[in-house]
Structure 1
């Protein structure tokens, strides 16, 4: 039997997860990444229980779980007053696993390790030149070579060229009015245990602190700002102006940050859902299909879900009557578009709530959060009902205990 061939455009979390899931199902996979290496530009990445179960489909879930650290913390005001508590054990009970926050470089390296040598080609720009159809393969042009494939996966991010080729008249993701900053400080910046996980909501801005397993600390911030605004004195100086008088350990983290390591990104969201996540033999996933705000921590999680569902459906179709994975792509759209569209909208609502600017609005919000925390602990977890409790279509998958059947091993 001829081995099916897939070309993945984009070597981020979603693209590598798709390649790993397809390779695990017997496909010949090539990943084209235009950057010179897979060494990612990034800081922390959150993977909730739904993403971990998806990763189990190709044997990577337990390695992610091993990166977990206790993340009990809570939501605070800038002065330090606690509004609500978070409990990772409660999240694990409710959703089947805790949220794992890891450095993006570690996750990228893990996904790349699931692929055979030579599958990832860095420094290579791939251009979709023919989406293919029932009577012909899809074609991707690279410098000096045209690749033909039974399936092309567009995983090239928010400003996806693949999406623009498939749906040239569709509106691009819109700027949300929020800018984010991210950085990681070394383990020596704070005494071990001095930084606990928390998120702090202030007027028109928020701050988050998350300890990583190796002792480093991941920090992120969000604020309302004009698109592409230039920060006088640099991004770290801007963060110190916005957050320098907030509660411990925020000032100390800002003092320890390397100005060159602070990443700033304007947040774009897919306000107008695509008509489909496929066309011809091409499927879109992750930010290329449904970019979202980071406020639910589901951007990478949904990309991994996409990857595993896509690999499962196209492999099933290839094994069925006709033997063509093309027939599975409408079902991929049908399964993924409604779910991800709802999560995009839910995440945007949380972002707007977190960055309220008006004093009366903030007072009402904070009072409601504090009351809910007193009367119904862990109420905030309900915000991930229907999201973090998702299970992949591929069975078996690892249970919370990490047990596996022979097939999953």
Structure 2
């Protein structure tokens, strides 16, 4: 997923983060202090000798020690390198929710820590003048929730005690990292020690040397800082076991009892820059008290009771792991855990919990791989990233949004928060959802399943908040969805409709179906065909009077062809359309910038970027939409598609089924309803999705016809201008598909007159190569269209889930994306086979199994769909820029010298199980 583009050949992310990383990732040197270090527990051989280790962990913080303990419990020895002379037990305390405690229990230290710290029962929120706004108890909704604040010092010491005495090597500061030719990673320390390790795990925090070597940028300052401290009450602290929050304007604070004698507190304040580092405790204390001098005296007294050695000032930072832009979490045998990979703001109280989760997930995958060899190790590290990213990225984003909202200074916003949001709209349930993480109770040597593989669900991550109690996403999209999702009505046309193949019973009678698919487009028909091949009957409702075979053509890459082969129609379509061999890029004046063939293997990249795991090479063909739909429809029983069947109303029945009412009066109750009704989906609207968003440019498209044979070679041709771009590709011996994209501040009126459309297109490209103008002239009137381009970003925690009860979305109905990667149709085909493989066995098991299957489909597809949608959008935004300087750089540097084929095609890799019917 490294590249930004395919069909429109944009920047690759490899290029994008090459500019911020070391140009040679095979080695990296760090600044070396010249002062002598304390002798480490490692021997210090001559520079020529190298010590061999299986696993080296860099950093003895929470992430490093929890990883080491987890490995130790599975019988795997590791060496932990810590640059400090002892455990870094500074800092105050951290809050652990039930997901963190489950991990600590798996490591065997949970009860030891529980015995020292209070269980927090709930929370109370007050204004800066002391008025109580709201209070909760954590177990009002979730009886399993467990919240305790734990001193960082105690947590580290407890974890360290679980390790063999020679495991942690202090005063071991990295000077250099190199990737050896044998695939191992070579570490050189400041004291001269050299270690070669199969696996290097970077757990060295937000300023990680390992992350820097792997190409990660520095974490980004978020605009506010925090004072923190640990107040000491030798004779007993006076507070109840609950979290106390105080919200002001641009300032917020909180405190929580940690133990019978300790109270943790914080004060967050806006600051345009991180500011200088301050270590004088008197200055820190005075600055804190100045910020809250008009606040309740209770908080000021807590600050006064804070020992000098526990008060700190911290600029808050995070790093968003943007799909397609951020480097991967692993490089060869090196991998990142915790803050080294994903520093996040503390607004969800999940930083330490996520580090603990990382550790056990990584170890679960790594331990068996160590026995299998280097390739298995690299696969395990990639699998760790793939499982963790869908959880980490949403949490990081939501934590940032929470902080941004709570740090607003606007008095009106603060008044709404204090008088409406907090007292009336906050719900406890969604706040704790982010802490759900299933697991088995213990770690056993020889068993690598101490955590059950937990499906990541957007619904289980629905809240924006925890420790600072902000808005929840439940509230956020409640405002944009239908207030009652149990039913929804659509505008009903009064003109009579053509009779459908469904019977039209009286309004009282209801027809029962197992699976109903709404929409007979590519998504709907491919879903129906996949179900049919597994022996499951479905009914397809199409509001048009026949297949909507309008439109031009679409490009299918090897991922789309693999799905069509699984459906049994691949070869029939191949026989009608040309295989595209490559691409050429030209300027608007006709100068060639670059050309490729799709089956080139750029030796700079892994062959996997062009060949899939079965050895199948890239395959690209443009296919007429009409032919694809007709070919799919022929695979279905004759009574499968019901035309003139327009939805009027959807309701969720009490029995868990979904009731559909059509305009003609037909009513159908179905166990499963699959919304495949495109970008303006009625099913998606019922489920709470907003309309897709216009991206700022439109496209003219057409299918030129050459009855005596088209004259072009089998390649994609791109032409880049300033704010305008175009392309054309031979579809068959007589057809050529073309497009022209142009910027427009609004979608504009709908135009259907083909003469107007053709003239507008030719006006845009009147000074471009005549070849393109001739293609437009050769286009029949009935194939030329003008389309405003739209997409929908499925933001984690904000967008509704893809399923609601027994209803689910597929293709453009769920994730409309711009065509800049050529993946819209391919992703709809992928959706279909993934959904059907999960749904078919569930239909035999009952309603609960069906809902689980639909959630599992979403969980598997979202990590692929969201990055593709974002990258397609970014590609279009970059290629539609009008700035002459940017265009000159593109034409003279980027395209001729920096584009690489391998990363461009990575997103076309897709694997799935064959369509085989399950046995009962």
Q: Give TM-score scaled by structure 1 length.
A: 0.87
Which residue of structure 2 lines up, in the alignment, with residue 266 of structure 1?
315
Does 2:132 correspond to 1:82? yes
Q: CA RMSD of the aligned region, Å?
A: 2.6
The alpha-carbon deviation at position 259 of structure 1 amounts to 4.2
Say if 1:189 and 1:253, in contact at 8 Å, map to a contact too.
no
Pairwise mapping of residues 315-354 of structure 1 onto structure 2 (< 5 A)?
315-319=367-371, 324-354=376-406
Which residue of structure 1 lines up, in the alignment, with residue 424 of structure 2?
371
Which residue of structure 1 lines up, in the alignment, with residue 356 of structure 2?
304
The alpha-carbon deviation at position 80 of structure 1 amounts to 1.6
The alpha-carbon deviation at position 152 of structure 1 amounts to 0.7
Tell which deviates more after alignment, 76-85 or 3-12.
3-12
The alpha-carbon deviation at position 324 of structure 1 amounts to 4.2
Does 2:206 correspond to 1:158? yes
Summarize the Cα distance change of 1:127–1:86 in structure 2 as closer, same or farther, 3 Å threshold. Answer: farther
Say if 2:119 and 2:241, in contact at 8 Å, map to a contact too.
no
Deviations 1:169-209 (A, max 9, x none): x4321100010111111123875337853011111111111
Following the alignment from structure 2 to structure 1, what is the Cα–Cα distance between the partners of residues 240 and 381? 49
The alpha-carbon deviation at position 271 of structure 1 amounts to 3.1
Summarize the Cα distance change of 1:188–1:160 in structure 2 as closer, same or farther, 3 Å threshold. Answer: same
Say if 2:107 and 2:442, in contact at 8 Å, map to a contact too.
no
Say if 2:229 and 2:306, in contact at 8 Å, map to a contact too.
yes
Q: Give TM-score scaled by structure 2 length.
A: 0.40
The alpha-carbon deviation at position 14 of structure 1 amounts to 0.7
SS of 1:266 mapped into structure 2: strand
Deviations 1:340-381 (A, max 9, x none): 0110001111111222210011111222111125xxxxx144
Which residue of structure 2 lines up, in the alignment, with residue 229 of structure 1?
275
The alpha-carbon deviation at position 252 of structure 1 amounts to 0.8
Does 2:157 correspond to 1:109? yes
SS of 2:206 mapped into structure 1: coil
Which residue of structure 2 lines up, in the alignment, with residue 72 of structure 1?
122
Summarize the Cα distance change of 1:341–1:310 in structure 2 as closer, same or farther, 3 Å threshold. Answer: same
Deviations 1:284-312 (A, max 9, x none): 01111011110100011111111110011
Say if 1:173 and 1:272, in contact at 8 Å, map to a contact too.
no
SS of 1:370 mapped into structure 2: helix
1:147 to 191, 195, 199: 195
The alpha-carbon deviation at position 275 of structure 1 amounts to 2.9
Say if 1:91 and 1:98, in contact at 8 Å, map to a contact too.
no
1:356 to 408, 421, 429: 408
Pairwise mapping of residues 95-244 of structure 1 onto structure 2 (< 5 A)?
96-127=144-175, 129-131=177-179, 135-142=182-189, 143-167=191-215, 170-188=216-234, 191-193=237-239, 196-230=242-276, 234-244=283-293
Following the alignment from structure 2 to structure 1, what is the Cα–Cα distance between the partners of residues 166 and 114? 27
Structure scoring higher RCO (CA < 8 A, sep ≥ 6) equals 1
Say if 2:221 and 2:274, in contact at 8 Å, map to a contact too.
no
Say if 1:131 and 1:282, in contact at 8 Å, map to a contact too.
no
The alpha-carbon deviation at position 27 of structure 1 amounts to 1.3
Following the alignment from structure 1 to structure 2, what is the Cα–Cα distance between the partners of residues 131 and 337? 24
The alpha-carbon deviation at position 126 of structure 1 amounts to 2.7
Summarize the Cα distance change of 1:319–1:236 in structure 2 as closer, same or farther, 3 Å threshold. Answer: same
Summarize the Cα distance change of 1:159–1:323 in structure 2 as closer, same or farther, 3 Å threshold. Answer: closer
Following the alignment from structure 2 to structure 1, what is the Cα–Cα distance between the partners of residues 188 and 140? 49
Summarize the Cα distance change of 1:290–1:247 in structure 2 as closer, same or farther, 3 Å threshold. Answer: same
Tell which deviates more after alignment, 187-196 or 349-358.
187-196
Summarize the Cα distance change of 1:380–1:352 in structure 2 as closer, same or farther, 3 Å threshold. Answer: farther
Following the alignment from structure 1 to structure 2, what is the Cα–Cα distance between the partners of residues 132 and 228? 38
Does 2:388 correspond to 1:388? no
SS of 1:188 mapped into structure 2: coil
Following the alignment from structure 1 to structure 2, what is the Cα–Cα distance between the partners of residues 260 and 253? 15
Which residue of structure 2 lines up, in the alignment, with residue 49 of structure 1?
98
Following the alignment from structure 1 to structure 2, what is the Cα–Cα distance between the partners of residues 271 and 60? 31
Following the alignment from structure 2 to structure 1, what is the Cα–Cα distance between the partners of residues 381 and 407? 38
Following the alignment from structure 1 to structure 2, what is the Cα–Cα distance between the partners of residues 240 and 195? 24
Which residue of structure 2 lines up, in the alignment, with residue 24 of structure 1?
73
Following the alignment from structure 1 to structure 2, what is the Cα–Cα distance between the partners of residues 319 and 361? 57
Following the alignment from structure 1 to structure 2, what is the Cα–Cα distance between the partners of residues 285 and 211? 29
Pairwise mapping of residues 285-296 of structure 1 onto structure 2 (< 5 A)?
285-296=337-348
SS of 2:165 mapped into structure 1: coil
Following the alignment from structure 1 to structure 2, what is the Cα–Cα distance between the partners of residues 358 and 157? 34
- Between structure 1 and structure 2, the one with the greater Rg is 2
Say if 2:141 and 2:428, in contact at 8 Å, map to a contact too.
no
The alpha-carbon deviation at position 128 of structure 1 amounts to 5.2
Following the alignment from structure 2 to structure 1, what is the Cα–Cα distance between the partners of residues 220 and 402? 17
Summarize the Cα distance change of 1:317–1:305 in structure 2 as closer, same or farther, 3 Å threshold. Answer: same
The alpha-carbon deviation at position 260 of structure 1 amounts to 4.6
Query: Size of the alignment, in residue pairs?
Result: 386
Structure 2 segments unaligned to the other structure (5+ residues):
1-51, 444-448, 451-920
Structure 1 segments unaligned to the other structure (5+ residues):
374-378, 399-406
SS of 2:146 mapped into structure 1: coil
1:250 to 286, 299, 302: 299
Say if 1:131 and 1:279, in contact at 8 Å, map to a contact too.
no
Summarize the Cα distance change of 1:118–1:90 in structure 2 as closer, same or farther, 3 Å threshold. Answer: farther
